[in-house]
Structure 1
Amino acid sequence: MTVFFRRMFSYCPSKPRNPLLRVLVGLLGLALLLVLVVFGLAIGLGMLLFSAARRLLRAAREPSRPVDADVIEGEFTRVRENHPPLGLR
């Protein structure tokens, strides 16, 4: 059993000696790389389109409130309490 594991984990693939076979293996590697890139781009674009459609649908469902021209809406966070200023006096 140890001979099997030694053969399995000591396997080191090398380039074929035949020049035509080398070119064929290289082209096969480039084709595989191209397929993976296209597949990744398709999934990424699908995710972006899904999130854009979800935002549009969510915005269409929410009722719009009347906007007053004199009011600026926003949120704020208090960074610190009333501490004395830092520095020399």
Structure 2
Amino acid sequence: MSIFQHHAFRRFRTFAFSAPRRPRHPLLRIALGVVGIALLLALVVLGVFVGAAMLAGGMLWRLWAQRGKPAAGARRGSIDGDYHVVGKAQLPLAR
């Protein structure tokens, strides 16, 4: 006898892989819907706070890594150079 023909396997298969059923009682349906929406909103809010904390941590990390170094604007100076105006490029006439 194969393991797949055993009654315990068939009972497990029907229990584990069956589709979840909605409750029949209307108040229970509404309550579970409200719980689902509340869980979804809680996860969204938690995700926003975790993202903000990661951004703040990254900015603090960057500030900590740059401590003691001079600011980039302090060492900038003017750049001298010569320039000339280049005329508009002209293509040879197509024949």
Question: Could you say which TM-score interval applies, normalised by the shorter chain?
Answer: 0.5 to 0.7
Is 1:3 equivalent to 2:10 in the alignment? yes
Which 5+ residue runs of structure 1 have no aligned equivalent?
73-89
**Larger-gyration structure (1/2):** 2
Partner of 2:78: 70
Per-residue CA deviation, residues 8-58 of structure 1 (Å, 9 max, x unaligned), is 333211221111111101001011101111111111111000001111222
TM-score normalised according to structure 1 size: 0.65
Is 1:12 equivalent to 2:19 in the alignment? yes
- 1:46 & 1:53 partners in 2: Cα distance? 10
Note closer, same or farther for the CA distance 1:64–1:13 as it changes in structure 2 (3 Å cut): closer
- 2:79 & 2:71 partners in 1: Cα distance? 16
- SS state at 2:21 partner: coil
TM-score normalised according to structure 2 size: 0.61
Aligned partner of 1:51 among 35, 58, 65? 58
Is 1:35 equivalent to 2:38 in the alignment? no
- 1:27 & 1:20 partners in 2: Cα distance? 11
The CA deviation at 1:5 is 2.6
- SS state at 1:20 partner: helix
- RMSD of aligned C-alpha atoms? 2.3
Matched positions, count:
72
Please say which of residues 1-10 and 47-56 is displaced more in the overlay: 1-10
- SS state at 2:67 partner: helix
